[in-house]
Amino acid sequence: MGLRSYDELKSVISELSSASTDESVSTVSIEDASYSYDQLMEPTFKLVNACDTYQYESDYGVWTDKTDDSSYMTNLVENGTTLHIVGIVQPKSATDSATLSTGIYYTPALTDGLIDAAAKLAGRAGPDRQPRRGRPHGQDL
């Protein structure tokens, strides 16, 4: 999210990677930090569909991985959908938070849109086909 410095991240990664395989690293010393609500709501992210990192090569009839093409990837990120943080969920201190895990969550609409985009790219969807199954609309399993 950009709330900690790159140097701090490098230090943590270095500490974790320098531990031998026999050595157990259960904690890494990271200075406690606190952030305001505004600081947590400010970052934005760019959405890049994994399927968009491939480009169809019609001459060969194959999909080519473009993740090593910095120009292609820069353009993909610049034109990606901007995502904003819209809320923070935190359990009450007196409750059991076993069902609430740490992470970033996305709306079902965003997830469904990504799945449908991948299906369309794969040629399984169209005006007369279900994006996820590639079957005609109305046809069940």
The answer, yes or no, to whether residue 100 has pLDDT greater than 50, is: yes
What pLDDT score was predicted for residue 16?
A: 75
Whether the per-residue pLDDT at 134 is higher than 60: the answer is: no
pLDDT for the residue 110: 87
CA nearest neighbour of 52 among 127, 133, 129, 113 = 113
Q: What is the pTM of this model?
A: 0.57
Measuring CA to CA, which residue among 97, 84, 106 is closest to residue 40? Answer: 84
The predicted structure's pLDDT at residue 50: 83
| Buried-exposed string 24-40: b where 16+ CB fall within 10 A, e elsewhere | eeeeeeeeeeeeeeeee
